[in-house]
Structure 1
Amino acid sequence: MTLLEKLNQDMIQAMKKKDKDTLTVIRMVKASIQNELIKLGKEHLSENEELTILSRELKQRKESLQEFTSADRADLADKAQFEIEVLEQYMPKQLSIEETEKIVEQAIREANATSMKDIGKVMGKVIPLTKGKADGSQVKQIVEEKLK
């Protein structure tokens, strides 16, 4: 089942339950996917492309949550947190820190990385393996710690 099909099913369920908040989030994600389809001129997106869109939407919500929290806007922060929780339902299982560290260590060995100068090589190997499964900033932080 593609992400779009899953979103359509969940949208119908949200309509039946009269869950307007969830419905709004699902419609926003569907709109992002439709916009990407139009932009790329395709009929279907690959799983990787769908994951990229979901990750982008999730990242935007997390950044908004930080801004709302720092601005003491609890109402908007709660809404952003709810949207994050809905979006996370569609993301693949997240890697633990230990699993991410193992991937990073393997990439460092494969790239023969010895210093921070090699961060690009390591990230180039790590990102495809962790895309959508781990937070990019967390991955970068682990890579930097291991290369110090």
Structure 2
Amino acid sequence: MREAPFGGFPHFLLYSTLHHTTAMTVTTTLFEQIEKDYVQAYKARDSVRLTVLRLLKTAVKNRLVDLRRPGGSLSDEEMLDVIVKEGKQRQDSIEQYTAAQRPDLAEKEAAELAVLKDYLPKALGQEELTALIESTITALGAASPKDMGRVISTIMSSHKGQVDGKALSEAVKKRLQS
């Protein structure tokens, strides 16, 4: 009988052990976290989370194809863009279902949105947003509504996923008009 290589360990166990040990020491990317959560949701039979993560993985693959990087990966910033886009779609659906008197579908979309929010950075509160707008306006020297685009783009680029664009736009417009 032939002895197994690597001191008696079957090679597939050694590879598996090495692979998992190195994966644990490296910080996990957002996509890796989504993959782990997908497996956990599958095992727990959490249908809402499983559906959302499945759709999110599909959106990521579609984004990779759009970027002509099939088989590649997205950076965490690009992943945030995909998650924000999916969240906006859910929010729009909630508004449409509510207007159409379909609370059952609105609740389903709200549950999906809650899952997506788990992967986004914590949203800024109203006070934090106001302080951020003030400091950005001061830093850029913005004085009129013409500067609104610069202020919004600066804030959105530095606080991706933390700020709702619609609320930011209204707050900046209100501040610059006063």
TM-score, normalised via structure 2 length: 0.79
Matched, 1:74 2:106: no
Question: Runs of 5+ in structure 1 lacking a partner?
Answer: none
Q: Pick from 53, 60, 65: which aligns with 1:38?
A: 65
Q: Which residue matches 1:11?
A: 38
What stretches of structure 1 move > 4 A for 4+ residues in a row?
A: none
Question: In 2, Cα distance between the equivalents of 1:129 and 1:100?
Answer: 12
Question: Are the counterparts in 2 of residues 100 and 130 from structure 1 also a CA contact under 8 Å?
Answer: no
1:10 is aligned with what amino acid? D
Question: Runs of 5+ in structure 2 lacking a partner?
Answer: 1-27
Q: Which residue matches 1:128?
A: 157
Task: Report how far residue 93 of structure 1 moved.
Answer: 1.3
Question: Are the counterparts in 2 of residues 29 and 57 from structure 1 also a CA contact under 8 Å?
Answer: yes
Q: Which residue matches 1:2?
A: 29
Question: In 1, Cα distance between the equivalents of 2:132 and 2:36?
Answer: 35
Task: Report how far residue 10 of structure 1 moved.
Answer: 1.0
User: Highest Rg: 1 or 2?
Assistant: 2
Moved more, 22-31 or 95-104: 95-104
1:26 is aligned with what amino acid? L
TM-score, normalised via structure 1 length: 0.94
Question: In 2, Cα distance between the equivalents of 1:142 and 1:104?
Answer: 8
Matched, 1:119 2:135: no
In the TM superposition, what whole-angstrom CA distance separates every residue of 1:2-38 from its partner, at most 9, and x where no partner exists? 1221111111111111112211111000111111112
Question: In 1, Cα distance between the equivalents of 2:154 and 2:47?
Answer: 41
Aligned residue for 2:92, secondary structure, equals helix
Task: Report how far residue 68 of structure 1 moved.
Answer: 0.3
Tell which has more relative contact order, 1 or 2 (C-alpha 8 A, sep 6+).
1
Task: Report how far residue 41 of structure 1 moved.
Answer: 2.7
Question: In 2, Cα distance between the equivalents of 1:129 and 1:95?
Answer: 12
Q: Pick from 23, 26, 38: which aligns with 2:53?
A: 26
How many residue pairs were aligned?
A: 148
Matched, 1:57 2:59: no
